[in-house]
């Protein structure tokens, strides 16, 4: 029996490993991977460059008017075998992974006009293709009819240590306390925002990977995906 193509939605807390798992699943299944977190980081970088975000404050009305000038695209990089975020034609993949962007992304992501623009773009990207999409509101808002939904989480301290290692591997000079504070603050803002707050979809498979290896969670998610494709 031929396997059907499905849509996979992965939601969860910051630094829970969503992107890592989504990339791996997409590569194995030959699906299109859409990193919605990179898109919100891209808007945040745009807002910072345009000075709509300064000292932890956001000029929401100014940013909303500037969104017509925002042009985000994913372009495949053969050397990394990944689709990378571009802003106005410029590769910003490294810039959007900094702590400076991380500190502001939840503030920008909660703005209704930003979410409206990006959700519409995310849905267009998913049309007519088999995708793995990860973010905060994929299974509840962006792709509520996805055939397979995951919700990934882990203890905040575990997520902070993972994020710290990632930043240090990229040459960033940060402390564990700074990263943990950022993780907790992003959890709070993501869960309390008025528009599309972070929450588990009723039909999502919950994965607490605090004590799981990457291989264990990958095999679990891949097996579920293959079973769903055969139904």
pLDDT digits (tens, 9 = 90+) for 16-34: 999 999 999 999 999 999 9
Least confident interval from 84-93, 184-193, 206-215 = 184-193
Banded pLDDT at 138 (limits 50, 70, 90) = very high
pLDDT score of 189: 87
Asked whether residue 59 carries a pLDDT value surpassing 90, the answer given is yes
**CA-to-CA distance for 36 and 6, rounded, in angstroms?**
18
**Looking at residues 172-176, what average pLDDT do you find?**
91
Contact 13, 188 (CB under 8 A): no
pLDDT score of 178: 94
Banded pLDDT at 83 (limits 50, 70, 90) = confident
Q: What is the DSSP letter of 137?
A: S
Q: Which two tokens stand for residue 67?
A: 């969104």
- In the chain, the N- to C-terminal Cα span, in Å, equals 10
- 8-230 CATH: 3.40.50.300
pLDDT score of 55: 87
Asked whether residue 128 carries a pLDDT value surpassing 60, the answer given is yes
């Amino acid at each position: 029996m031929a396997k059907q193509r499905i849509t996979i939605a992965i939601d969860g807390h910051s630094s829970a490993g969503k992107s890592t798992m989504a990339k791996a699943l997409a590569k194995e299944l030959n699906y299109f991977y859409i990193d919605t977190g990179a898109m919100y980081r891209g808007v945040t970088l745009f807002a910072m460059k345009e000075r709509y975000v300064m000292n932890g404050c956001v000029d929401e009305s100014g940013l909303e008017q500037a969104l017509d000038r925002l042009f985000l695209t994913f372009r495949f990089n053969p050397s990394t075998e990944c689709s990378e975020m571009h802003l106005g034609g410029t590769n910003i993949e490294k810039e959007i992974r900094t702590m400076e962007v991380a500190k502001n992304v939840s503030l920008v992501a909660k703005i209704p006009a930003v979410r409206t623009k990006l959700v519409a773009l995310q849905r267009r990207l998913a049309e007519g293709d088999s995708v793995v999409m990860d973010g905060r509101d994929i299974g509840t808002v962006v792709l509520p009819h996805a055939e397979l939904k995951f919700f990934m989480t882990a203890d905040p301290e575990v997520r902070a240590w993972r994020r710290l290692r990632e930043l240090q591997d990229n040459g960033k000079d940060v402390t564990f306390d700074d990263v943990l504070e950022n993780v907790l603050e992003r959890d709070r803002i993501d869960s309390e925002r008025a528009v599309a707050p972070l929450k588990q979809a009723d039909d999502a498979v919950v994965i607490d990977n605090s004590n799981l290896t990457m291989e264990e969670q990958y095999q679990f998610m891949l097996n579920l995906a293959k079973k769903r494709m055969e139904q």
